[in-house]
Structure formats: structure tokens, C-alpha cells
């Protein structure tokens, strides 16, 4: 099953709850929450206190993407705030295996994200412990950037690595995904689709329905 996880980064922040209500109306299953610290990425977004407030607004899966240095310091806060899935970057964790174990210990699903220039080989000794791999198809930090085509090859490589080991791994693609390229992304092997500007750049209800309609074909 293909899961849509719209990125809240492109919502009108003066009306976040309205944006979430539109997604709920379209029966979107997950909400992608981009946490940025201004150090790992050149932008600052929001943290656990905001997520905690949003938790009261919806039952959607909270898919939290941590673009922060030393994420271990905050894992418990995100659990308390209501995160269901937590994804950390391979590039920001000194002890990635330990971080993944801690996410599981706290009762959340664990994902590892790879920046566009990071090879799939970094997953070799950790993929068996993961619920999800997030392939970045833009350099993290901002919404509305263009899709980097080499991400498709990377998705296929991760899917092959998972299949070769008999793993039922979720593969998420994040950055520059729109209605035109989402078919290629799914065909490469992804099953969790993030879309920020392609959902909130217009009517979030209509755009979500359009994505969900494409997913029905797979």
C-alpha cells in the first residue's frame, strides 16, 4: 500500500489546524513533520512543543523527520509530543545503531534518512533494524525545491538491498515530489510519499485527493 505523508512545512503557519483538517477530510493517513535546527540544515522550523499541540488536532500518523544535530537529546521529547515514526539522518548520528535502538525502546518506528550525496552502503549494517529508509530527493532544509533524478536509482538500490535480505521495509521519498513524477518514484520502489508544496501550494484537499487517486493504480 502506498502512503501519502504531506509535509506541513508548506502550510500557511497562521492556519495550521485548518490545513490539517483538509488532509483529514481527504483521508490522508500520515503527516510529515520537518524539524530543523538551523545547524544540521540552514533553516529553522519547529520542534516538539508545536507537535504536541498538533497532536490534539488529528489521529494521523505523525511522521517526524529530524533534521537536527545529535537527535538523541530530543527523542524522548518527540515521543511525549506524540510522534509515531521518527527518522534521523545517517549524517547527523555518531552512533546510528544506538540511536535506532533508542527510538525503538521508546516505542516508535525508526527510519534513517540519506542526503542526496550519501551512498546506500551506509545502511549495510543497520538496515535489518529499520522500519523505514527515507531517500532525500532534494538537499534538506527547504520546501519547494526541484527533484534530484539520481534519487530514483537510490530508491531502487535500497529496495533491492531490502528484498535481498527478505525485509519488509518502508521506503519514503522526500523532496520535489509532484503529480508528474510520483509514478516514477513509486515504480522505483518507494511506498511512502512526501509532498509539501505539491499539496499545500494550492487546495490541500484537492491535491491530496489527486495523489491518492494516482496511488490507486498501484
Known catalytic membership, residue 163: no
Residues 6+ apart with CB under 8 A from 203: 22
- 143 binds ligand DX5, rule: CB under 6 A: yes
Which CB atom, from 39 or from 217, has the smaller least distance to Zn ion? 39
Separation of CA 139 from chain center? 13
Separation of CA 204 from chain center? 18
Residues 6+ apart with CB under 8 A from 217: none
**Closest approach of ligand DX5 to the CB of residue 92, in Å:** 13
Helix extents (H) in the chain:
16-25, 48-55, 75-81, 96-105, 150-164, 182-188, 197-200, 204-215
Strands in 192-195's sheet, in edge-to-edge order, are 3-6, 192-195, 170-174, 132-136, 109-114, 85-89, 61-67, 30-36
- 115 binds ligand DX5, rule: CB under 6 A: no
**Closest approach of ligand DX5 to the CB of residue 59, in Å:** 21
Question: Are the CB atoms for 196 and 137 separated by under 8 Å?
Answer: no
In the complex, which residue's CB is closest to ligand DX5?
Answer: 196
Q: Which of 51, 108, 112, 198 binds ligand DX5 (CB under 6 A)?
A: 198
Could you say which of 34, 37, 63, 170 is catalytic?
A: 34
Which CB atom, from 100 or from 193, has the smaller least distance to Zn ion? 193
In the complex, which residue's CB is closest to Zn ion?
Answer: 65
Known catalytic membership, residue 174: yes
- 111 binds ligand DX5, rule: CB under 6 A: no
- Residue 115 near which of ligand DX5, Zn ion, none (CB within 5-8 Å, type-dependent): none
- 170 binds Zn ion, rule: CB under 5 A: no
- 197 binds ligand DX5, rule: CB under 6 A: yes
Count of helix runs (H) and strand runs (E) in the chain: 8, 8
Separation of CA 115 from chain center? 12
Could you say which of 72, 164, 174, 203 is catalytic?
A: 174
- 63 binds ligand DX5, rule: CB under 6 A: no
Stretch that binds ligand DX5, among 12-20, 76-84, 98-106, 135-143 (CB under 6 A): 135-143
- 195 binds ligand DX5, rule: CB under 6 A: yes
* 3-class SS string, 5-32: EEEHHHCCHHHHHHHHHHHHHCCCCEEE
Q: Which residues does the annotation mark as catalytic?
A: 34, 174
Using CB under 5 A, list all residues that contact Zn ion.
Answer: 34, 65, 174
Amino acid at each position: 500500500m502506498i502512503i501519502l505523508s504531506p509535509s506541513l512545512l508548506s502550510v500557511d503557519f497562521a492556519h495550521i489546524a485548518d490545513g490539517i483538517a483538509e488532509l483529514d477530510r481527504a483521508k490522508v493517513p500520515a503527516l510529515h513533520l520537518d524539524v530543523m535546527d538551523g545547524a544540521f540544515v540552514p533553516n529553522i522550523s519547529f520542534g516538539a512543543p508545536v507537535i504536541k499541540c498538533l497532536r490534539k488536532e488529528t489521529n494521523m500518523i505523525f511522521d517526524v523527520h529530524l533534521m537536527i544535530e545529535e537527535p538523541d537529546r530530543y527523542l524522548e521529547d518527540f515521543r511525549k509530543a506524540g510522534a509515531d515514526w521518527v527518522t534521523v539522518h545517517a549524517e547527523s548520528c555518531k552512533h546510528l545503531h544506538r540511536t535506532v535502538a533508542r527510538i525503538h525502546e521508546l516505542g516508535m518506528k525508526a527510519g534513517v534518512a540519506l542526503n542526496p550525496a550519501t551512498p546506500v552502503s551506509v545502511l549495510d549494517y543497520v538496515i535489518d533494524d529499520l522500519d523505514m529508509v527515507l531517500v532525500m530527493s532534494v538537499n534538506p532544509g527547504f520546501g519547494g525545491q526541484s527533484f534530484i533524478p539520481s534519487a530514483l536509482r537510490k530508491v531502487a538500490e535500497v529496495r533491492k538491498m531490502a528484498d535481498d535480505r527478505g525485509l519488509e521495509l518502508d521506503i519514503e521519498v522526500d523532496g520535489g515530489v509532484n503529480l508528474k513524477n510520483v509514478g516514477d518514484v513509486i515504480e522505483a520502489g518507494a511506498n511512502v510519499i512526501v509532498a509539501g508544496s505539491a499539496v499545500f501550494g494550492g487546495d490541500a484537499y484537492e491535491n491530496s485527493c489527486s495523489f491518492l487517486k494516482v496511488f490507486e493504480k498501484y
